[in-house]
Amino acid sequence: MGIQFRAILALAGALLLAGCVGGTTTHIDLNDSSVVIPTVRMSVDFGDRPGPRSHPHTSHAVELGLSSATGSDTMHVPAGQQPIVFGGEVFAAPQDVRAEFGFRFVELAYRFRYLPENRGLGMEALAGLAYAQLGLRLTGATKVAAERLDGTGVVVGLGGLWRLWPSGSIQLRGTGFASSTSEGVSSVARYEIAFAQALGRNAAVRLGYAGWDVKSRREDDDFSNSNRSPIRVRFSGPALGLELMF
């Protein structure tokens, strides 16, 4: 009986230890502050108005936007820290893990913009649907793993405009995205400040600075998948844009 009892206690302890270790991982937290972020937007106004569509003005419109970025970072996993679990691989401590990412964001939203004719300050609000895609590749001392994460959800945003002259303005916008998936791209936050200058009646160029924060919660009801490392990718840098308005 004594031997059997000790065996049962040992087995219970091993299961408890496995559960504690299996449910704890090091988060993947990346940050690249030297990313060039290109953006293309196209908007279609409801109704007619005098003057070029490319000049800042009060409007109700449908806006389609596409943004992309690529970047990299290196994570140090020190001795004694829990491993990174990603792409079916375990990156155990201690080691440096090199990460490379590519990000795409597509949004289709209704946009309301209010800019009084007799004042330079205005505001905008938007709401719609968006699709986010994050490709991530990790390279460790002996292992390489890659995954592509997707998410479709709702995007909302608020912004402000300061008209410098009829064809030029400073524009500030912040948006948030949320999806129902915890395994793909769960949420995205973005801010952007840009100078916009009209080129003709239906186009404008944008030059500014933007920052993005992309997350995947990596939670799952299936215990076998519950120990995957949560992911956070932050990147920022110059934002270059082209906008078409009709």
With 0-12 / 13-18 / 19 or more C-beta atoms within 10 angstroms meaning exposed / middle / buried, residue 1 is exposed
Question: Which residues, including other chains, have CB under 8 Å from residue 226's CB and lie 6 or more apart?
Answer: 22, 23, 219, 220
Lowest mean pLDDT among 12-21, 111-120, 185-194, 198-207: 12-21
Coil vs helix vs strand at 238 = strand
In 115-230, where do the E strands start and end? 121-139, 144-165, 168-179, 187-198, 203-216
Top pLDDT among 53 and 223 is at: 53
pTM: 0.86
The per-residue pLDDT for range 88-112, each reduced to its tens digit, is: 999 999 999 999 999 999 999 999 9
The per-residue pLDDT for range 31-42, each reduced to its tens digit, is: 999 999 999 999
113, 126, 171, 179, 213 from 182: Cα distances, Å: 33, 25, 32, 8, 16
Residue 216 has pLDDT above 80, yes or no: yes
Residue 52 preceded by cis peptide, ω within 30: no
- For residue 219, what pLDDT band results from cuts at 50, 70 and 90? low
Closest by CA to 142, choosing from 100, 99, 92, is 92
The per-residue pLDDT for range 107-159, each reduced to its tens digit, is: 999 999 999 987 789 999 999 999 999 999 999 999 999 999 999 999 999 99
Top pLDDT among 67 and 13 is at: 67
Domain layout of the chain by residue ranges:
2-245
The per-residue pLDDT for range 169-178, each reduced to its tens digit, is: 999 999 999 9
pLDDT at 242: 97
Closest by CA to 72, choosing from 39, 98, 105, is 98
